[in-house]
Chain A
Amino acid sequence: MKTYEEINDKIKKGKAVVVNAKEILSIVEDNGIKKASDMVDVVTTATFGPMCSSGAFLNFGHATPPIRMETITLNGVEACGGLAAVDTYIGATQPSIDKGDEYGGAHVICDLIDGKKVTLKASGKGTDCYPRKEVNVAVTLSDMNEAYLYNPRNAYQNYSAATNSSSKRIFTYMGTLGENFSNVTYSTSGEMSPLLNDPYLRTIGLGTRIFLCGGVGYVVGCGTQFKTKTQRDPNGVPVCGSATLAVRGDMKQMSTDFIRPAVFERYGVSMFVGIGIPIPVLDEEMMEHLSVQNKDIHTYVEDYSIRDGRNARIKKVSYEELFSGTVELNGKLVRTSPLSSVSKAFQIADRLKGWIEKGEFTLTRPVEMFDMHSSVKPLGPVKEKK
């Protein structure tokens, strides 16, 4: 048994033993769960995948005379009005008015992080206290008062793999799916993934300090569509999309090495988000969870050509099979490919490991744990136009 305080004490003295979620596997194999949980203090996990439910809060500062911004665009991408005078939220998946899906909110966010000038156009009706009606000005990240990424739903704990039974190639947020089950795509960092290493969220909750896109960030709540009442394997790991996280981080600390805009063909804009979460080895039970391997993690292959509510599940497969490059489907070997960068996940886990080893980053006990009996509701009956 170890407490957060004991682990942080070691971190501050530069004596903490930190390994990534892959390295821990051989340590457990060589030493067993008990000895390994004494030896290791922190395991770093990470993911770098397309996470659509992302965006940024920005505060531009006031012009003289001031304006109450009601319609706002940044490089031609619409951002939210309705947040007082000079605050806005720009969603990562919002396409630009003139360039469509080739440039969107994610590109604006990453251009700002890269230090590029972005054109802010805003208008308001003009009031006695905010007499200005229009602005058209170039802004940079350093010009802004606050700029923080705030992503309502990231780091999905598991996700279905995708295939296509129809006779036509389809283009989805799960990538290109060839006709007649010709391929399978999946999106995970598997045994490196944060929420697959802490399946019951024993150490991840409100206030958990994390690595977010190159800077320090925080878990600021459970993510939207948070589901903990879910189908699990005996090891506790969910076999479908389950828990999610809302995260926040200062854009001024971020680097586009760890956050990138994405465009999915005939789907639209998304954003690759890099998240690293340190998991304290509190006890043997925690180490049991941290020793999870790709062969112990399963998901369902779903048919993405079925979108009318019929059961689209085809087969339960392990991530070991998916990562191997082929999976058996209907008696045939079908090729598999990822959408989430595992090599980036390793970079992130090792960067975070370095921060902790140097004593620059300590662990946080969550201020509040998340609801473990949460389910997800659909949007209920929608009238179809005849």
Chain B
Amino acid sequence: MREKMKLLIHFPRHSALEPITYNLVKDYDVKINILKALVNDNVEGFLFIEADAERENLKKAVRYLKDIGLQVEKNGTSIFVDKDKCIHCGTCIAACNVGALTMDEEHHLVVRREKCIECALCVKVCPQRIIRDVFAVKQR
């Protein structure tokens, strides 16, 4: 059975000089749709893809990426909330139209990463500037 899934692949500084898209296609028969890609001025890379493959192959492909030292998030988003600095004010929630940001009963921010559509409006409105889109070229 084929499966489709978004993968956010993070290349830490000076890592993985392998041609990974080539390897994913050739060794694991993954159809790749590149959504976004960036190498930032810290020489970290981010590759956001939609991967379509046989379920077994997809599993192996993710394992391969992790084995060569990359960080892989399944069905994630390029938007990151710095949870250590978050004060749970809720200002970002007003900007999120897809329900990826909500408050729980304890008045803590809940981030449902799989719901995010990367509109990045939350990045703009966070009063503490602690929400970051890794693909934003100009970081605050």
Contact = CB atoms under 8 A, between A and B. Distances in A.
A270 B127 contact: yes
Contacts of A59: none
A176 interface: yes
B47 to A, nearest CB: 29
Contacts of B41: none
Contacts, number: 72
Interface stretch (B6-14, B18-26, B32-40, B86-94): B86-94
Interface of B: 87-91, 93-95, 97, 102-103, 106-108, 121, 124-125, 127-129, 140
Nearest 7 A/B pairs, CB to CB = A262-B127, A337-B93, A342-B107, A338-B90, A343-B107, A176-B95, A175-B94
B64 to A, nearest CB: 41
B128 A260 contact: yes
B127 A263 contact: yes
A276 to B, nearest CB: 15
Contacts of B125: 171, 175-176, 264-265
Interface stretch (A114-122, A178-186, A370-378): A178-186
A48 interface: yes
B5 to A, nearest CB: 28
Contact of A325 (B89, B91, B102, B140): B102
Contacts of B129: 102, 263
A50 interface: yes
Interface centre among B87, B107, B127, B140, by most chain A C-beta atoms within 10 angstroms, is B127
Contacts of A260: 87, 128
A182 B89 contact: no
B87 A272 contact: yes
B88 A341 contact: yes
Contacts of B124: 265
A21 interface: no
Contacts of B128: 260-263
Contacts of A270: 127
28 contacts: A48-B89, A49-B89, A102-B129, A175-B91, A176-B95, A176-B125, A182-B97, A183-B94, A260-B87, A262-B127, A264-B125, A264-B127, A265-B125, A272-B87, A325-B102, A337-B91, A337-B93, A338-B89, A338-B90, A338-B93, A338-B107, A339-B89, A340-B89, A341-B88, A341-B89, A342-B107, A343-B88, A343-B107
A262 B89 CA distance: 11
Interface in A183-228: 183, 185
Given A176-B94, A185-B94, A338 B140 contact: no
Given A270-B127, A343-B108, A48 B103 contact: no
Interface in A142-198: 171, 175-178, 182-183, 185
Contact of A343 (B93, B94, B95, B106): B106
Contacts of B127: 50, 262-264, 270, 272
A133 interface: no
Contacts of A15: none
A332 to B, nearest CB: 15
A267 B138 CA distance: 21
A102 B106 CA distance: 30
Contacts of A313: none
A344 interface: yes
Nearest to A274: B87
Contacts of A346: 107
B94 A344 contact: no
Contacts of A49: 89
A375 B88 CA distance: 34
Contacts of A344: 87-88
Contacts of A102: 129, 140
Interface in A41-57: 48-50
A325 B93 CA distance: 10
Interface in A233-265: 260-265
